[in-house]
Structure 1
Amino acid sequence: MHPFPDRAGPFLYFRGWRDGRLALAALSLLPPGETPPPVQAGGHKIAAVKLRELGEVTAWRHDFDLGATDDGYDLGDSHYPVQTDLTGDLRIAFASCNGEENGDMDRAPEERNAMWERLGRNHDRAPFALLLQGGDQIYADEATHGHPLTDGWPGDTPPDLDDAQQAEITEHLRAAFVQRYLGAMGNEAYGWLAARVPSLCVWDDHDICDGWGSLPRDRTSSTLGQTLFRVAREMYLMFQHAATEDDVATLFLDPQGRSLGWAHELPGLTLFAPDLRSERSRRHVMREAGWQTVEGLEPQGDHVMMVSSVPLLGPRLSLLEGVMLMIPKIQQYEDDLRDQWQSRAHRAEWVRMLKQMLRLRKKAPVTVLSGEIHLATRAEMGRGPTLIHQLVASGIAHRAPPQAFARSLGTLAGLGSSPIPEQKIRIHPLPGRKQRYMAERNFLVLERTGRDWQAVWHLEDSGATPALALT
């Protein structure tokens, strides 16, 4: 395992756009005892606030805002340029799946982070205003390793734990999560970009553990399962939002924090992301709190972009689920299918969400951004005035699955699906490509010129695709 840095940052996070000013937070991780210098921004000096000690590092946050004529901020001896004018032409990057399930921290950094470096070069040519991170920003699956009470998770879950055991496991898990976040975020390629482009993040299962919410209920509701979720949430808030529980009511749509979905209005653009993990179970993707945030959304922008950590438009996975139940050797993958919107267990909620997208489509064009599947693809639902685009960019660091898997999924996708009558879902190849699913590491660039949006996928081996117009 590679040594972890004892300092990292600043990492920039988007807080909002108000009265022509860009509100930001910058997270810095320093050795205990060190205090970061103030940020200089917009003619002001802003002192850091100590968030908490995290073992061998301490988390600090600077809160500040920038006007459209400001060119960035200074921290110490370094100047970090930031794209501050969001009113005209605009560029947004989207990425997901920053890691792998096994041995991620043992990979050669230049191989693991090659696409982050490429994304940084793209920003250097034409700056991004925002980095949308669509889930699995870390792979925490090995966080339970190394402790006798957690080594067997999730297959071997201990009975209820006493207070001393819970405290011991909490300490072990916190240290493991901090290591994985430092390993994923502390590399030069990611750090350079994240200091200059503010992030908006949504989590997915690997930010907790593989299949969280689709595992059997006796696992996730156990004392160990709930301890794991609590630590994962704490670390998600800290490393992906520069936040603590005290910030939840101001950062997320549900002030009680039962669901961590968020929404932001930018000039001409509404961005929102439902939380598909906090309330998830084998029978539910979201519950009351999550659905209230979606059904209460009234977008103001000329275009709506939704981040769905799990693809919303996809093939008829219920057929594959039925086959799996009859073949014992592949039943181990049933949880992976249960994780999808298209699972038989979630069909009613899937239709409910699709109807919400059609409601929003009456107000403005809708584009869904998704990750999770380690492939690049796109989909459409409806036509003309009901057309909804879905763009999937998945695997900025996760290596691609075999080509045979991509072709098989493409064959299944050819069957089509119409969960809502007369609103057929179709999986299409990327522009300039023949296969429906591309098995290459990738990221997505969204660009607005005037009021028109287009999307370009950047694939590791075959390069950038032609632009896709989003109308």
Structure 2
Amino acid sequence: MAEPTHLGAAVAGDSNAQIDVICGPLINFKNMNVTPSSSIWRGSVLIVTNPGQTQPRLILRRLGPVGGNPSINGSVSNDQGITIDGLRLFEDPGKAFWRFSISLPLESYEARWEYSIPGFQYVEGQEVKSPWDFVVPSINQSMRLMFHSCNGFSVGTDMNAWLGPNLWNDVVRMHAQKPFHVMIGGGDQLYNDGIRVDGPLKEWTSISNPHKRRTHNFDNDMRARCDEYYYKNYVRWYSIEPFKAANGRIPQVNVWDDHDIIDGFGSYTDHFMRCSVFRGIGGVAFKYYCLFQHHVAPPMSTYTTDAPQTMHAVNGTAGADPRQMENTFVLENQAEDDSWIVGNRPGPYVEEKSRNLYMRLGKRIAFIGVDARTERTRHQVNYPDTYNLIFSRLEREVAAANGDIRHLVVLLGVPIAYPRLAWLENILSSPIIAPIRLLNKRFGFAGGLFNQFDGQVDLLDDLDDHYTARQHKRERKVFIQRLQEFAKANSVRVTILGGDVHLAAIGRFYSNPKLGLQSVNDPRYMVNIISSAITNKPPPKAVANLLARRNKLHHLDPNTDETLMDLFDQQPGGQEKSASWNKVTMPSRNYACITEVDAPVANGDDPAQQNDITFIALPKDGHSPLHTGETNAGAKHSAADGFSNNSGIYGGLDIAIRVEVDPQNRKGTTEGYGFSIPPLAYDPTKDNARPTSQSHSVLSEFQRAGSRPQSARPQTVN
């Protein structure tokens, strides 16, 4: 669009100009371009400044290898650096967003780079701790990953008991000891729920009549106030230490979940989710999700009821509203980042297409981040054709990699291998709740049991969010089966990340033991690393123990079983977090470290040719260790320290869950629990299972659904 005259075009060329910074820097990883002769790392740095600034510049310098090899250091110590001009993504009378796009070659060694921004100073006078540095892997190295979720506090949290994001201090310590190449945010990178308690939706939330609340307008005035709330909440949270320190030094990859918008978004009843206020805040939240978490320009306008052109997506985004564009600059005609897998059509409650992610995480790891919020309803997580887009991209990338990709890491907002709570769903949605709801409506009885939006039981939106909810079970089954087929076809180990539930656990799918498959040969062996929350408070011990008691053996299909793994062999730091018998759920703040095993075993690096110590007698079920990497899993496992990577099979993954010991300790001291995941060497001659006709018919229907008109697509059923 045309430049607003009062803002003016950015002035370039003055390297001594003062840059008044409101928030940042935030560093992101974007993707890698891999060819037979080279690998290019791509990322970006974002800052938010006062409007009307001189175009900022970033100076990027290579420092040399991590650990400091003098002979190599000497060749780069005089590196004068690369100058990168800032690209303005968005500017209005209150702020401007600038992105510096970084592209650098991977070397034969793990390299440290640093960057600085001349003239950088905070408008609030905070100390500037520059230059900032980050680490990239060598050309032959897979990335070392840190995974987190639920990085904020729910409304009503007792802050005297839960003192800030202290666990990020441990992340920073771990990063200093052995650098993370990327940190993966599994959703709820911040909590925007306060918008209905002390923000612009407070008055709307207090409307007692559900019909009036549902039909309330979302006009431009309410949009502007919500816009200001989301922006300021991002700035506040992203400026809090020690989270702020990690933001500038560990490249991020994020998907969003409900709290990035508002609690339960997408999982309330359809007629309520379609109300204007929810659709309006969905658009505003998407705007700042694009800017802060992905460093891309936002939509030109977001949904309002007094600009009808914004109420329906045009070419996959909300139509332009001249009032929102007044005195505002939005970068236009930007090419879609190649890390995005963009959905075919907008979500049902957000006038934007989903943004799923594909990235290459170093030499042997591919990554998929599923946007499980933009298309979510109470009866679906994603459109069938979105899954088709994801798997088509995977097949193309694996084929182009010529056998280099050995792992696929799949990021989901919520766990997919997790205990069922169907009995609780049945109770909370049964007729016995109706008279209690009536008493609540008339007299406020049991007010804490019901949410303020659609009047349903408050816990139901959390249960309905889960893949194991009855509405999502069919979609879940087909998704897992497609991952199994991908693993078989490409001999690629699939590992799943999930958060949301505010406790740590390790779920896994695996072949029914009657098939006689060792895990190293088993494409159905897929671990779900459940790490949550890094900041929010955990659930009570009783809830964690209840989930542990519900840790039954489940049968996804005749060939695939699932259950949680015993990992927590002792209480962290001697602090009692759960029952002594509960080895599977840990209700304490936590995050995960994932490091590729890079030490070859004695007889070579081919997992198909391992010595006998690799194999164990197959147990009767998954309540026992399934392979040597699960044997002695826990605090004494060599992977528990979070940086060792020699406990499993070469090319496998060492996993650590770092668990907070004491929430009152601002240092964020943790205890680690470790195990390892073997690589996959799939031999079809050893797999006696054949796909059942039922699974084939479900898969075929699911795949065909992607080409049907939306009105003809079947609803997800139990």
Distance 1:233 1:420 in 2: 37
Counterparts of 2:587 and 2:193, CA distance in 1: 23
Residue identity opposite 2:271 in structure 1: D
CA deviation vs aligned residue, 1:171-200 (integer Å, no higher than 9, x gap): 111111112212221112112111111110
Q: Deviations over 1:87-146 (max 9, x none)?
A: 326421001001122157x94799211001111111011110000000111111122433
Q: 2: CA distance between counterparts of 1:343 and 1:305? A: 23
Structure-1 residue corresponding to 2:559: 422
| 1:443 correspondence with 2:496 | no
Instruction: Report if the CA contact (8 A) 2:27-2:251 is conserved.
Output: yes
Match of 2:500 among 335, 360, 372: 372
- Is the 8 Å Cα contact of residues 55 and 175 (structure 1) preserved in structure 2? no
Q: Is the 8 A contact 1:6 1:57 kept in 2?
A: no
Partner of 1:372, secondary structure, is coil
How many residues align? The count is: 463
Deviations, residues 217-255 of structure 1 (Å, cap 9, x unaligned): 122111111111111111111111111246583241026
1:249 to 305, 311, 336: 336
Query: For 1:270 and 1:155, how far apart are their aligned partners in 2?
Result: 49
CA distance in 1, matches of 2:546, 2:89: 47
Who is 1:206 aligned against? Answer: 259
* Cross-structure match for 1:468: 675
Is 1:317 the counterpart of 2:421? The answer is yes
- Match for residue 29 of structure 1 among 48, 56, 65: 48
Q: What runs of 5+ residues in structure 1 fail to find an aligned partner?
A: none
Cα distance change, pair 36–192 in 1 and its aligned pair in 2 (3 A): farther
Pick closer, same or farther for the CA change 1:403–1:448 going to 2, 3 Å. Answer: same
Q: Which amino acid aligns with 1:146?
A: P
Residue 151 (structure 1) aligned with residue 212 (structure 2)? no
C-alpha distance 73-183 of structure 1, shift in aligned 2 (>3 A): same
Say which is worse superposed, 385-394 or 252-261, in terms of deviation.
252-261
Confirm or deny that 1:358 pairs with 2:411.
no
1:166 is displaced (CA, Å) by 1.7
Distance change (3 Å), C-alpha of 1:335 and 1:278: same
Moved more, 22-31 or 53-62: 53-62
Change (3 A) 1:309 1:290: same
The structure number with the bigger radius of gyration is 2
Q: Tell me the distance in 2 between the aligned counterparts of 1:171 and 1:114.
A: 33
- Structure 2's unaligned 5+ residue stretches are 1-19, 62-80, 119-129, 299-331, 345-351, 399-404, 437-448, 450-456, 512-518, 571-581, 599-650, 663-669, 679-718
Find the aligned partners of 1:158 and 1:216 in 2 and give their Cα distance.
14
Conserved 8 A contact 1:37-1:47: yes
Q: Which of residues 423, 448, 461 in structure 2 aligns to 1:335?
A: 461
Q: Which residue of 1 aligns with 2:225?
A: 172
CA positional deviation for 1:273: 1.2
CA distance in 1, matches of 2:460, 2:675: 34
Number of the residue aligned with 2:546: 408
Tell which deviates more after alignment, 66-75 or 182-191: 66-75
Higher relative contact order (Cα pairs below 8 Å, separated by 6+ residues): 1
8 A Cα contact 1:95 1:132, kept in partner: yes
Alignment-derived partner of residue 382 in structure 1: 510
Matches within 5 A, 1:45-444: 45-53=83-91, 56-69=94-107, 71-76=112-117, 78-86=130-138, 87-88=140-141, 90-102=143-155, 107=159, 111-144=163-196, 145-147=199-201, 150-152=204-206, 156=210, 158=213, 160=215, 165-245=218-298, 249-250=336-337, 251-254=339-342, 258-266=353-361, 267-296=363-392, 297-298=394-395, 300=398, 301-326=405-430, 327-328=432-433, 331-362=457-488, 363=490, 364-383=492-511, 384=519, 385=522, 386-413=524-551, 415-430=552-567, 432-433=569-570, 434-444=582-592
Alpha carbons of 1:73 and 1:93: their partners in 2 closer, same or farther (altered >3 Å)? same
CA distance in 2, matches of 1:459, 1:467: 11
Identity %: 22
Instruction: Render the CA deviation track for 1:11-52: whole Å, top value 9, x for unaligned.
Output: 001111124221111110122333463112253211111222
- Determine the C-alpha separation between the residues in 2 that align with 1:255 and 1:285: 13
Aligned AA (1:401) = P
Alignment-derived partner of residue 319 in structure 2:
none
Query: Residue deviations 1:283-312, cap 9 Å, x none?
Result: 111114422233322253111100011101
Distance in 1 between the 2:137 and 2:117 partners? 24
Deviation per CA, 1:304-354: give whole Å up to 9, x if none.
100011101112232321132335266432222111101111111011111
* Paired residue secondary structure (2:99): strand
**1:158, CA displacement in angstroms?**
3.3
Structure-2 separation of matches of 1:153 and 1:45: 54
Structure 1 CA distance for aligned equivalents of residues 89 and 381 of structure 2: 31
Q: 1:432–1:465: 8 Å Cα contact kept in structure 2?
A: no
2: distance between equivalents of 1:152 and 1:392? 35
Distance, in Å, in 1 between the alignment partners of 2:539 and 2:413 is 19
